[in-house]
Structure formats: structure tokens, C-alpha cells
Amino acid sequence: MFKSSSIEADHTLDPKVVFLNSVFLFAGIVAFGMGFFRWQASAVMGSIDFVFSLCNFALVYYLNSHKERVATISSIALALSYCLFTAIYLLASNNSTRISLFFLLSASAFFLKGRQAGFTWLILVLLTIITGHFLPGFDTAYSHLDIVTASLYLMALFFIFLNYEIFKEKVNERDRDKEVLRLSEERFRTMVENGNDIISIISETGMVRFISPSVESVLGFEPGEMINRNVNDLIHPDEQPKAAMALANALAHPGGETLEQYEFRMKHKDGSYRDIEMVGCNLISNPVIGGIVLNGRDITERKKLENELKHQARVDLLTGLNNRRHFFELAEQELARAKRYGAPLPALMLDVDHFKLVNDTYGHHVGDMVLQKLSEVCVQTLRGIDILGRIGGEEFAILLPETKSEQAFEVAERLRLAVAGAVVPLEQGDSIHFTVSIGVALFVATDAKIDDMLNRADTALYAAKNMGRNRVCCEGIG
């Protein structure tokens, strides 16, 4: 970082170093030559020239050895030049062009030290010219008009430099703005072309006006295939009403405000669907954009993971049925509905007969196979609206919405018979059969929670076991 800054500083100083080198060398050579010429007329003037020449040569050597001190050397050079030019102005009255030296001094001060210092030097030069002209004992050989004219020219020169510098700053500022804009556009283009998100611009009717190349990696379409195509063509039919609502919301909020985030299933070129998280802003009024800007991100893998975690949180991993927690969530909802509409809602409790004996005889892996077979039979026997869950080791609970008591008993009996006829194949061609006992309870108005029903169904279940197992028992009925 420091090395880079040093290099930038060297480049900034180079023009001033070159300028000073040129001035010092030229002034030193000229002053040295003039020293011989002036020495014949005036030893004082000749001595001044020689000293000035040596100072210039010394400054050249010092400057090239210490370029970083160009600011200090500039100040020394200006001070020496001022002293020399003032001496020439006051002592060399026979030289009618000597006042022009102050023009060089003023211009050099502006270039080397900037506008503020240039203005200070201008005031100093003007005071020197005017004061020297009226100084007793000195004859500048200039008329008052010459002094006024020279002063006006010096001020004009300063303002020319000043206006030029201001103009140059404006040009540089404009060039910097252009460069910043170019770099910004280049960065944006690079981000759009190489980013994973889909950047698109659509019209107020949903027609695609622009889409980034990333659409090919996400949805399989080349950008050219998407232009002038309605974005709704890719949205899953079930979610098109939501898409229409999102578009209406975007049209209702012009001005670039970031809008509500939506998730859509969008069709891949191969016919599958990808989950896309989308956010947009309405820039239709922007003459450069002229549309609704959408930013879409592929969240398919994230949704799969979320769904898998939800599934694991709700499902019993061994049987694939609702686990205890999720069963009770669904059951409470169904109980509330039954209360609201006065609908019948029988509850069944199932338990595998002699399940401990199965585990002890054949091993726990066979016990797991028995539970899986029971789950399979239940799913095949029951309706899609029935709620089924494994709530204990070998205990299963079932709710039968919109089912009367007689029908509930018939369903339970049909289920018992289906289980009794099921076969669990073992290794070496063997197989086992198993049975279940089922308790049935009916919804009553005093049931505050699903536990109330299940407790009664559990009581009926144990009654069935006490009566010999492999049977159905309904509460209050033997």
C-alpha cells in the first residue's frame, strides 16, 4: 500500500521537477554568461549574476538528489528569483525589458505553488513594482503608464492562469466522473454476466426485455430465448395468481422502492421446476431502465433441505407415518373443526399383540419390520383424510373425520382383519403373522382436548386386550 502511494506521489511531482530542472539549467547558463557581460559595466551586477548562476546549478544537483523536496526547493527558487529580479529591476535601469522578469516569476509561482500562493506572489510582485518605481534614490526609467500597464498585464496573466486551471479542473472532474461511471458500468456488467442470480427487466405486462446470462445455468434457457417472452409462461400454474398479484403490487409502487419478496416455482427447459426467490423494484419511469427490475435466486436446494427438515420433524423415521408431535397438532385442528361444525370424530388406538415376544423371539429388526408392515396396511386401508400416527413404541392412533360410530367400528374391524392377513417375510423363506387390538372412542361435547378422546380409546384398547386380543372394542361396548 505504501509503495503504491509513493509511486503515485512520484508521478505527481514529475512535472514540477522537470520544470524546475529546465528553469534552473537555463537560468544558470544565462546568468553565468550575463555575469561576464555585466562584470565589465558593474562588478556588483556581475557578482549577482555569478552568485545566481551558482545557486541554480546547486539547486539542480540538490533537486535531482532529493526529488521528494520539490516543494521546498520551489519556495527557495521563487525567493531567489524574486531577490534577483528585484535587484535587476532597481539597479539595471538601462534594461527596458527587465520588468518582464516578474511575469516569469508570477507564472512560475502559480504553476509551482498553486492558485492561493500564486495570488500571494502576484500581490508581492505588484507591490514591488509600484514601490520600487516610487522609491527615492532609484530611477526605474519606466513611466507611470508603463507601471500601470505592466500591473494590469500581470493581473490579466494571473486570471488567465486561474481560469485555465478552473477549466482544467472541470475537465478533469468530468473525465473522472466518466471513468467512475465506466468502471461502475463495467463492474455491474461483470456482476450481471458472471453472477448466479438472474437479473431481468420486464415490461408492465410481464414481457422480458432483458435477462442476464445466468438464466441458462438456472433454468436452462439461453438469454435470447427469453427476450419478448412473458415471464408468466415459466411460473407454475398454481402460482400464477400470486405472480399476477406481485406484478400488480410492483405497478402500484413506482419509484424504485424494493418490493415484497416472493417465491415461485419456475419451469426449467427440461420440464422440471426450480424454486426461485424473487424481489423487484419498479423503474418504469427511469428512462435508462424503462421496466420492472427483478432479481431471482435459485433456492431449490435450500427448499429441499427445508422440506426435508420439516419432514423429519413431522414424520416417524421407521414407519413414515406422522410422529407423535405432528399427529397431535393435526388431531387438535380436527377436533376444533368437529366442535365447530358438530361433526362426528371417532378415535382409534392400535397396539400390536405380543410385540415384546416378537422382539425377544426374532430380534428387534423383525419387530421393526412388523411395525412397518402395520403402517403399510393402515395406509392401504384408511382414507386420505384420515389422520394416522405412531405415538409410542407399538402404539398407533387414528382419527376418522366425518365418520359415524357404526362406520368407525366397521373400519376398525376391516383394519384388524387386514393386519391379521398380512405377512412379514423373514430370511430363508420363513414368514410370520401378527395381530392387533383396537380401541374405539367417539367424540363427545365434553372433550376439551384430543387427549380426552385418546384416553378413552386407550381404555377400550386395554379392554380388547383383556378380552383375548386380536379384537376391536368400542368404549362402553364389550
List, by residue number, the catalytic residues.
394
User: Where are the extended beta strands (E) located within 402-460?
Assistant: 424-425, 431-432, 436-441
CA distance 332 to 456: 16
* CB within 8 Å of 417: residues ≥ 6 apart: none
CA distance 153 to 133: 17
Task: Judge contact between 209 and 300, C-beta under 8 A.
Answer: no
The grid cell for 291 is 421496466
**DSSP class of residue 6?**
H
Name which of 14, 15, 53 is nearest 34 in CA terms.
53
CA distance 315 to 311: 6
Task: Judge contact between 388 and 377, C-beta under 8 A.
Answer: no
Task: Judge contact between 208 and 230, C-beta under 8 A.
Answer: yes
Cα-Cα end-to-end distance for the chain: 91
* CB within 8 Å of 441: residues ≥ 6 apart: 346, 347, 349, 453, 454, 456, 457, 459, 460, 474, 475
CA distance 429 to 116: 105
Task: Judge contact between 414 and 390, C-beta under 8 A.
Answer: no
- Cβ atoms within 10 A of the Cβ of 76, count? 14
User: Where are the extended beta strands (E) located within 174-236?
Assistant: 198-202, 208-211
CA distance 325 to 331: 10
Strand, coil or helix: 136: coil
The grid cell for 174 is 468530468
Q: What is the CA radius of gyration of the chain?
A: 49
Name which of 294, 280, 272 is nearest 220 in CA terms.
272
Task: Judge contact between 370 and 352, C-beta under 8 A.
Answer: yes
CA distance 103 to 122: 9
